[in-house]
Amino acid sequence: MNIAVIGLGIIGGSFCKAIKSHTHHHVIGFNRTLSTAQQALSDGAIDEIGDEAALGRADIIILCMYPRACVDYISQNGKYIKKGALVTDSSGIKRAVCPQLSALAREYDFVFVGSHPMAGKEKNGYEVSDGALFEGASFIITPCGADEKSVETLAQLAADIGFARITLSDPEEHDRMIAFTSQLPHILACAYVLSPCCPNHKGFSAGSYRDVSRVANINSKLWSELFLENRTPLVEELEVLTNNLSRIVDAVKQNDKKTLAALLEEGHRVKQALGE
Amino acid sequence: MNIAVIGLGIIGGSFCKAIKSHTHHHVIGFNRTLSTAQQALSDGAIDEIGDEAALGRADIIILCMYPRACVDYISQNGKYIKKGALVTDSSGIKRAVCPQLSALAREYDFVFVGSHPMAGKEKNGYEVSDGALFEGASFIITPCGADEKSVETLAQLAADIGFARITLSDPEEHDRMIAFTSQLPHILACAYVLSPCCPNHKGFSAGSYRDVSRVANINSKLWSELFLENRTPLVEELEVLTNNLSRIVDAVKQNDKKTLAALLEEGHRVKQALGE
């Protein structure tokens, strides 16, 4: 198959490298900054640099841009896409992009299937892309009414390039779960490192500090878009968290060992039940 | 030297194994449950199981128990300790134990130097102890008025068994920094996993979830003691965190992208400045 990857940042670059190293598909790379595409070509991460004609040859198109940019790109380039081609995004939010992309699919006669590769790093850009980034990771698919065969094709490609688990979901469930599993940890990490103690942590810290602060090294432009486009479920999860945090803080303030130990034990039991 | 390790849990067991694998010191293990000490002996983690007479032969005594238990143990067994022996605790809090242990040192004529090995796992007990646990970790020493030679002896032992960094501090600074680097992440992890989304995270999660939730698998008895004995600096850090969290939450609620991006950018800059 001809696979077009639009946007060669960490996710797009990793898709290209993973497809090239695990399959025989022909990879066409598109990037706003030409030098990055040239680098990807010379790395062997892509087989050719794309243009409108190349887009028309693609059997699968993987959008690896900011959420709104995915919609804008297809609005402008939908006319070049081959009839029946499979288009997927890789956005971290789904309610804000899937309905528009499904509507564009009907307009331009291609098939849209939403997806979200659950992998990343605390750095961005093509230079940190990695053909092994998806090894062992989950790949969430939101079919959004697409035919079963297209969903299977995308799931098979994901499995072929290293994803360990395919999760079928819908935009609402996806966005609610992602608010908890991904967005909340990023907000916590940022709030955490704003303590005046943080710049002096070295020599006093270990794994707990490292882990909770890791994702504070955030791409503020991308994540503020992701947070605001997912405002309702995110605010709900933030309220759940601040309520649970308050219960623990109150027990500490009131020197109430029994309540405090019981709250910590609840946390312990959740992790134990998950086998983590 | 004869080194006595009192309490063969994850920390005590790891001290024994690290001392045996990196030095030629003679290790005497003490443990409330005899079968654990027998296991340590048969593993070669200790050279003998200790009793009062053996305590009197120890040149260095490392207390690896809960904070209050360290003080109780020395209150009861101080009379067996050799004059001039070096005693250190390994408690995660210092203001609550160091003054008492320094007073007991004067009473029984030994030398007390506080210390805190910055290493651990989300599991506990001798069975997860590990001779490599301290490799690359920080070892905090609170001299608490002890002579320089004793502090150097302890620092040298720490360096010999794998610690990469020795931090000299006092109980006040230690407890303030630990509230931030260690206690806060444990509280956050527990509050986080109490979300109703948590039991269903699989298939929707990746590194962010894994890292922020890791230490929720907590020993509730130990940590409730640590939190309450360190209440004042911990409550201060919790207030700093909840204030910073509120600023981010408010920006999300008000759909204020500029403020939100600026707050995230602050977090990003803190991590960048630390080279993390």
Which runs of E-coded beta strand occur in chain A? Answer: 2-6, 26-30, 48-49, 60-63, 86-89, 111-112, 114-117, 138-142, 165-168
Sign of CA dihedral B206, B207, B213, B219: positive
Same domain assignment for residues B55 and B158: yes
Same domain assignment for residues A155 and A221: no
Q: What is the CATH number of the domain that holds A87?
A: 3.40.50.720
Same domain assignment for residues B135 and B207: no
Same domain assignment for residues A139 and A254: no
Last residue of a domain, one of A169, A193, A214: A169
Query: Considering only CA atoms, which of B77, B74, B162, B146 is closest in space to residue B113?
Result: B146
Interaxial angle between packed helices A231-253 and A184-193, expressed in degrees from 0 to 180 and rounded to the nearest 10? 50
Query: Does B177 contact A197 at a Cβ distance shorter than 8 Å?
Result: yes
Question: In chain A, which residues have their Cβ closer than 8 Å to the Cβ of B232?
Answer: none
Task: Provide, for chain B, the percentages of residues in helix, strand and coil under a 3-state DSSP scheme, each rounded to the nearest 5.
Answer: 55, 15, 30
Question: Tens digits of per-residue pLDDT, B199-242?
Answer: 999 999 999 999 999 999 999 999 999 999 999 999 999 999 99
Query: Does B188 contact A137 at a Cβ distance shorter than 8 Å?
Result: no
Question: Tens digits of per-residue pLDDT, B12-33?
Answer: 999 999 999 999 999 999 999 9
Work out the minimum CA distance from A19 to partner chain B, whole angstroms.
21
The alpha carbons of chain A give a radius of gyration, in whole angstroms, of: 21
Work out the minimum CA distance from B105 to partner chain A, whole angstroms.
26
Q: What SS3 class is residue A268?
A: helix
Same domain assignment for residues A186 and A157: no
Same domain assignment for residues A221 and A131: no
Question: Tens digits of per-residue pLDDT, A134-188?
Answer: 999 999 999 999 999 999 999 999 999 999 999 999 999 999 999 999 999 999 9
Neighbours of A138 (CB within 10 A): 22
Domain count, chain B: 2
Query: Considering only CA atoms, which of A218, A14, A160, A198 is closest in space to residue B179?
Result: A198
Query: Does A185 contact B165 at a Cβ distance shorter than 8 Å?
Result: no
Same domain assignment for residues A85 and A136: yes
Q: Which residue has the tokens 């940890």?
A: A185
Contact B62, B4 (CB under 8 A): yes
A139: nearest CA in chain B?
B203
Given its phi and psi angles, is residue A190 left (phi above 0), alpha (psi -120 to 50 degrees) or beta? alpha
Question: In chain A, which residues have their Cβ closer than 8 Å to the Cβ of B172?
Answer: none
Query: Does A118 contact B205 at a Cβ distance shorter than 8 Å?
Result: yes
Same domain assignment for residues B150 and B177: no
Question: Tens digits of per-residue pLDDT, B177-193?
Answer: 999 999 999 999 999 99
Same domain assignment for residues A149 and A75: yes
Q: Residue B123 pLDDT > 90, yes or no?
A: no
B189: nearest CA in chain A?
A267
Alpha-carbon distance B264 to A40, whole Å? Answer: 30
Question: Tens digits of per-residue pLDDT, A8-43?
Answer: 999 999 999 999 999 999 999 999 999 999 999 999
Using pLDDT thresholds of 50, 70 and 90, give the confidence band for residue A122: confident
Query: Does A216 contact B177 at a Cβ distance shorter than 8 Å?
Result: no
Question: In chain A, which residues have their Cβ closer than 8 Å to the Cβ of B176?
Answer: 197
Q: Residue A123 pLDDT > 90, yes or no?
A: no
Contact A227, A219 (CB under 8 A): no
Of B191, B252, B265, the CB nearest to A228: B252
Query: Does B165 contact A203 at a Cβ distance shorter than 8 Å?
Result: yes
Alpha-carbon distance A49 to A41, whole Å? Answer: 7
Last residue of a domain, one of A145, A169, A193: A169
Contact A223, A231 (CB under 8 A): no
Same domain assignment for residues B193 and B242: yes
Q: What SS3 class is residue A3?
A: strand
Work out the minimum CA distance from B189 to partner chain A, whole angstroms.
8
Query: Does B211 contact A206 at a Cβ distance shorter than 8 Å?
Result: no
Question: In chain A, which residues have their Cβ closer than 8 Å to the Cβ of B209?
Answer: 180-182, 185
Of B227, B241, B264, the CB nearest to A224: B264
Please report, as a single letter, which amino acid is at residue A61.
I
DSSP codes joined into one string, B65-120: S-HHHHHHHHHHHGGGSPTT-EEEE--S-STTTHHHHHHHHHHHT-EE-EEEE---
- pLDDT attached to residue A217: 92
> Which residues, 6+ apart, have CB-to-CB distance to B35 below 8 Å?
none
Contact A117, A184 (CB under 8 A): no
Q: What is the CATH number of the domain that holds B247?
A: 1.10.3660.10
Neighbours of A37 (CB within 10 A): 21
Work out the minimum CA distance from B93 to partner chain A, whole angstroms.
12
Q: What is the ipTM of this complex?
A: 0.92
Query: Does A242 contact B245 at a Cβ distance shorter than 8 Å?
Result: yes
Cα dihedral A155, A180, A225, A12, rounded to 10, equals -30
Question: Tens digits of per-residue pLDDT, A193-245?
Answer: 999 999 999 999 999 999 999 999 999 999 999 999 999 999 999 999 999 99
Same domain assignment for residues B54 and B150: yes
Last residue of a domain, one of B169, B184, B216: B169
Sign of CA dihedral A15, A16, A17, A18: positive
Q: Residue B121 pLDDT > 90, yes or no?
A: no
Query: Does A270 contact B165 at a Cβ distance shorter than 8 Å?
Result: no
Q: Residue A119 pLDDT > 90, yes or no?
A: yes
Given its phi and psi angles, is residue A84 left (phi above 0), alpha (psi -120 to 50 degrees) or beta? left
- Domain ranges, residue A206: 173-273
A222: nearest CA in chain B?
B261
Using pLDDT thresholds of 50, 70 and 90, give the confidence band for residue A121: confident
Average pLDDT of every residue of chain B: 97
Which tokens sit at B39? 């296991």
Same domain assignment for residues B85 and B192: no
Q: Which residue has the tokens 């920080």?
A: B138
- pLDDT attached to residue B177: 98
Of B181, B199, B242, the CB nearest to A270: B199
* B57 alpha-carbon distance from chain centroid: 26
Q: Which uninterrupted H or E stretch holds B45? A: none
Of A174, A238, A268, the CB nearest to B249: A238
Question: Tens digits of per-residue pLDDT, A80-115?
Answer: 999 999 999 999 999 999 999 999 999 999 999 999
Using pLDDT thresholds of 50, 70 and 90, give the confidence band for residue B122: confident
Query: Does B272 contact A217 at a Cβ distance shorter than 8 Å?
Result: yes
Query: Does B220 contact A264 at a Cβ distance shorter than 8 Å?
Result: yes
* Cα separations in angstroms, B93 against A210, B11, B96, B233: 20, 15, 6, 11
Using pLDDT thresholds of 50, 70 and 90, give the confidence band for residue A72: very high
Query: Considering only CA atoms, which of A1, A4, A11 is closest in space to residue A30?
Result: A4
Percent of chain B residues topping a pLDDT of 90? 98
- pLDDT attached to residue B144: 96
